Structure 1
Amino acid sequence: MTSLPHDTAAEPDPLRALGLERLRRRTSMKWRTYPEDVLPLWVAEMDVPLAPPVVRAVTDALALGDTGYPAGTAYAEALAAFAARSWRWDGIAADRTAIVPDVMLGAVEMIRLVTGAGDPVIVNPPVYPPFFMFITHMDRRVVEAPLGADLRLDLGALEDAFRRATAGGGRAAYLLCSPHNPTGTVHTAAELTAVAELAERHGVRVVADEIHAPLTAPGTSFVPYLSLPAAARGLSLMSASKGWNLPGLKAALALAGPGAAADLARMPEEVGHGAGHVAVIAHTAALREATGWLDALRTGIQSNRRLLAGLLAEHLPAVRLHPGEATYLAWLDCRALGLGDDPAGVFLDRGRVALSAGLPFGTGGAGHARLNLATSPEILTEAVHRMAAALR
């Protein structure tokens, strides 16, 4: 599976469309958690206007009063068409999908299908902090298989974790983050095939969180976990939420490989009731009609990656930037600055820039911070200048 060429000539960069004054009128978490003198580059919200096809679809639904309950397979069909175009994968069958409220709640329900109370769930820290919270809240226990020094999957550590998790003969699941948050690593087909083979060998069920899949860098190929022959018993979650900035419009899709269809069929019907009909309309429109907007966004994110690398080299050369291949997140190794385990706290207190602290990401997070690139070049530049000033 290779990425198709992208034509962004007709679409402007959405990251350059909004100024700080207009952004501060927003009432969502990103813009209301901190005082107005703080630049928020933390939580996964993007500083973009919505894609016009999404706005039209939602506006038309409201004008029509089409605000009932979700029905049908339009979302799954739109995702299948998007996957075929973007990843050359035609393996999404609508009858092996289910609408869920969002990716994390869907992951919880899938893990419940294949494990029981007290069973282990393997994760690869440093990883998205809600993985830990949701796993423990559902009465499962976390088993860590940390990423390697290169911030890629460590297959040796993963096999050891699988072996330990199943040593007593019980059930276990592996919550795979693909692409990986916070590092932006895109797992290769070879890596994912090895994961699937290890999982089958040890009887571990894989649940893949693929919410950042639309956000690979131009020229980088994303490999859907369920596209691999060895992953027939796998489960996956996908959504338009991250790619098109729709976290406030709750909807996602749970997908099952051919060997996991019976598991997905056991998901309680009420799980799907948490998704909103208007949200499903928005996500469907994004996948069907707003791919040009997405391509322009991906180009803008890549431009910001380069900008951030240059800014750090000039103003904070001791900070090591991991060159992510996906997401709009940057993982910053700040240990050489001597700021302790929580450099994000220093940048907030002294520089008035909000980043995500590294500690909640688990093993490997101390001394790190996660920065959200999905903002204007002007805001990103000001943020790095403030961070540098915080050390003087």
Structure 2
Amino acid sequence: MEYHSPFETRNETPGAESPTERPSVTVVFPWSSLIWGIVAITALVVTLASLPTLVENVAAAVRRGPERAAAEAAREALTGVNAKSLSAGFELIPKAVAPSVVHINVVQRDTNLPDELAQLVPHREMSSQGSGAIVDPAGYVVTNYHVVQGATKVEVKLSDGSVFPAERIGADPLFDLAVLKINAGRQLTALPWGDSDELVPGSLVWALGSPFGLDHTVTFGIVSATERTAVSGNPFQYFLQTDAAVNPGNSGGPLVNVRGELVGINTAIVGPSYQGISFSLPSNRAKKVYEQLKDNGSVARGWLGVEMADVTEDIAQSLSLPEATGVLVKTVIRGTPAAEGGLRPADVVVEWDGHPVPDRMTLVRLVADTAVGSSVKVEVYRRGQPTTLTITVGQRPNEF
């Protein structure tokens, strides 16, 4: 039998005599070796292509080790935390505070009308609303001045739904605080004053009130910053900044701490509605203003009688000061406490009653908070030399 290679070519002529037979050689192509070679090359290419990913996965696994360990430790620690008790504690805050939170309805004369229309409709009125807090069982309520400003009628709605007319006892436009009084015919639940100086960034706080007229609204957050002084440009105000949601209608409502104590009066926000930044008047300052308004109907503030400016680097160099801090006295009004106490133009005040004075707004606030008639030690630089004066504080006139 004859075998032919698949690559052999044969030329035969029909009818021709066959040549002498010779042995045939069969060539077998190495298919299996070729296939295994292709497989090996493919495997190598795949391995090289996936090597970066493999290295990255190994590195990620190494990084995830501590992270996974920390997560597992945290999860284990969470098993020891009674979340229900924590939630129940949070729920106690509004329950404890709710009877002391009030909704305030205000009727005001519409002052936005053009003069020609105001003459035609002289008694046009508009309504607004705000919040407040009962701070005395006898019915004294604190709120913001801007809530009741220009009011012709004020009503206070208690947590039980009862409504009473309110009398305005006093108001302080500079600090934006007002005191109202209602006669409910019974002792009311007063909110205890807390210590706002205890608050630090991260402290838990709750805001209560009637945003957009929604009574009994409670929001929660943390203190973001304390002693914000550049919010309104008013040197008589400084604020607690929080991220507790506050909206129109919350003004005048209480900000409370973890003990349900009044630590702030919700006053302002950034923009027309909540954006994560809310401002509250601190309770320690608000309490002092409240007590004066309750007793006298107005607030007596300390006064010096000077025109002043912040000390810049140029001023510090020209006056040979050791550093660019303090307040430069530009003008001293004749017959004022500053003049009688020996303060002169070009003096630089650096300390008031033991408190550093870094800038003008700080000095204004320190002087305003000083009791009228008290004598205060004042440290100044005069012609580059430190000098101590004693000044008796006067009362700030209404026109200033």
**Pairwise TM-score range, normalised by the shorter structure:** under 0.3
Q: Which has the higher helix share?
A: 1
* Larger Rg, first or second structure (1 or 2): 2
TM-score, normalised to structure 2, is 0.25
TM-score, normalised to structure 1, is 0.25
Q: Which has the higher strand share?
A: 2
Q: Which has the higher contact order (CA 8 A, sep 6+)?
A: 1
